[in-house]
Structure 1
Amino acid sequence: MSSPQPRSSAFRPLAPPRNLTRTLIERLSAEILDGTLAPGAKLPTEPEMMAALGVSRTVIREAVAALRAEGLVVTRQGVGAFVASDVRRRPFRIDPDGLQSIGEVLNVMELRTGVEVEAAGLAAERATPESLRRIERALAAIDRAVAQDEAAVDEDYAFHRAIADATGNPQFARFHEFLGRFVIPRQSVRAARGHMANPRAYLEMIQGEHRAILEGIRERQPPAARRAMRRHLENSRKRYRRLAAEG
């Protein structure tokens, strides 16, 4: 005989927070992941959840749809929603709603470092003349943006993306596309520039780091390219930590 499942606390009335759907998603996700809601367990019906939670049908449907997208729930037409049989194998993803501060972005930047350092080394080994020109054009675009007193956020992204493309491995480009849009905290960068005595000097310093990366790739020196990329990303994390401390 199987042991009784722990009594779930997920299905109790929700207080009126600013986002009922997000609160329900977080509550159900936590109980699915800690085993309170066991694999294969059937969720209550929509009317049952509406009555228990005190929320609308829309909130229930949006939460179940989000859990299904996360791989935590499966639905069977005409039968209902069930906890997925193997929730630990759900697809990897980063929730943009979870990156609300510089501190949270830093965790993703550490992951990015592992990928981009290797990308710089592979680009130094494999870059074609055309892919090298794309990196050079991206660097020149940053120079133009800096000269116009712009933040150069999109141009910075394009520079790193060009290096990912230069690896010749499409998985680097895909992973960079996945991470890149979450990694650059646009509002934080622009707010920080607004408090700097000399924002252009700050961006030119970063450009010096970019040029070192390009030089390693151009000279076909993978160790130098990796060192330059690691130095750049470590310095970026330090800069964002300072912003977090000041903020």
Structure 2
Amino acid sequence: MDTPSQPLTTGIIDWLKDEIQQSRLASGSKLPSEKQLCEQFGVSRSVVREAISQLKSEGLVSSHQGRGVFVNERSARQSFRLSTTALNDHDAIEHIIELLVAFESAAARHAAVRHTTDDLKEIRRALVGMEYAILNGQPGDSEDYAFHQAICDATHNPHFIALNEYLEQHVRGLIRRARTNTVTHHQDLVMAVQTEHHQILDAIEAHDGTTAARAAETHLRNAAQRLDIYLKD
């Protein structure tokens, strides 16, 4: 149940990891630009960004505003890992949902209190992008990621932002992989997801942290129920 972009990102990730492990990209070195990687691998910027995001989540690289992405020092590389989870491992999925509920509820609560006008524009832009993708029969995975990332950005907490990137690669993508295969068969569920997203956005826009957290929790618990439907297809 791979997303369409997964094989493309794998090639970039494997190449960059090898460059780092072989010290051709030494600690402190700047990674090739998005444009260079797009040209080298013949992919879009979104695919490159997804690959870089995974490397960030694994602690191999970090981005510096206005400067680019750099290889981390070995001592700074993260050791935290989540084990790979299969979609049919119900106990593991339940544990993952518990983690996501706690994380996304807190992120939504902080975003409601701390967001700026620009933050709100980014959250809304991602939501509009999802609606456009859905209308064109696409799952809107990258737009969905952008929505949740924009909420984490609005917390203005670098740890929330970094953890969200890690969870996207290792946890949240499970739900998307199942949903991608059924988007054309469950338009009612797709629209339910959008309604929940709007409820989160409305609460954040209203600076209502409690309602935003509750809406995020409802969204994740409903996602867990929808996952069972996706897996039956």
Structure 1 consecutive aligned stretches of length 4 or more whose deviation exceeds 6 Å: none
Cα distance change of structure 1 residues 116 and 215 upon mapping to structure 2, 3 Å threshold: same
Following TM superposition, by how much is the alpha carbon of 1:106 offset from its aligned partner in structure 2, in angstroms? Answer: 4.2
TM-score (norm 2): 0.61
Instruction: Tell me, in whole angstroms, the C-alpha distance in 2 between the residues paired with 1:106 and 1:179.
Output: 15
Instruction: Tell me, in whole angstroms, the C-alpha distance in 2 between the residues paired with 1:180 and 1:110.
Output: 15
Name which of 175, 179, 184 aligns with 2:173: 184
Name which of 61, 66, 86 aligns with 1:100: 86
| Alignment match, 2:224 | 237
Asked whether the equivalents of residues 149 and 200 of structure 1 are also in contact (C-alpha less than 8 Å), the reply is no
Amino acid corresponding to residue 135 of structure 1 in structure 2:
I
Instruction: Tell me, in whole angstroms, the C-alpha distance in 1 between the residues paired with 2:93 and 2:141.
Output: 15
Following TM superposition, by how much is the alpha carbon of 1:193 offset from its aligned partner in structure 2, in angstroms? Answer: 2.9
Following TM superposition, by how much is the alpha carbon of 1:180 offset from its aligned partner in structure 2, in angstroms? Answer: 1.1
Instruction: Tell me, in whole angstroms, the C-alpha distance in 1 between the residues paired with 2:108 and 2:98.
Output: 16
Following TM superposition, by how much is the alpha carbon of 1:192 offset from its aligned partner in structure 2, in angstroms? Answer: 2.7
> Which of 1 and 2 has greater Rg?
1
TM-score (norm 1): 0.57
Following TM superposition, by how much is the alpha carbon of 1:146 offset from its aligned partner in structure 2, in angstroms? Answer: 0.7
Following TM superposition, by how much is the alpha carbon of 1:184 offset from its aligned partner in structure 2, in angstroms? Answer: 2.0
| Alignment match, 1:208 | 195
The 5-angstrom pairing of residues 78-157 of structure 1 reads 91-95=79-83, 98-102=84-88, 103=90, 104-157=92-145
Instruction: Tell me, in whole angstroms, the C-alpha distance in 1 between the residues paired with 2:224 and 2:160.
Output: 21
C-alpha distance after superposition, 1:117-138 (max 9, x if no partner): 0110100000011111100101
Instruction: Tell me, in whole angstroms, the C-alpha distance in 1 between the residues paired with 2:177 and 2:224.
Output: 16
CA RMSD of aligned residues (A): 2.0
| Alignment match, 2:150 | 162
| Alignment match, 1:74 | none
Asked whether the equivalents of residues 123 and 164 of structure 1 are also in contact (C-alpha less than 8 Å), the reply is yes
**Aligned to 2:183, what secondary structure does the other structure show?**
helix
Instruction: Tell me, in whole angstroms, the C-alpha distance in 2 between the residues paired with 1:243 and 1:151.
Output: 13
Asked whether the equivalents of residues 105 and 213 of structure 2 are also in contact (C-alpha less than 8 Å), the reply is yes
| Alignment match, 1:26 | none
The number of equivalent residue pairs is 153
Asked whether the equivalents of residues 106 and 240 of structure 1 are also in contact (C-alpha less than 8 Å), the reply is no
Following TM superposition, by how much is the alpha carbon of 1:105 offset from its aligned partner in structure 2, in angstroms? Answer: 4.1
| Alignment match, 1:193 | 183
Q: Which one scores higher on RCO, CA 8 angstroms, separation ≥ 6?
A: 2
Gaps (5+ residues) in structure 1?
1-68, 70-89
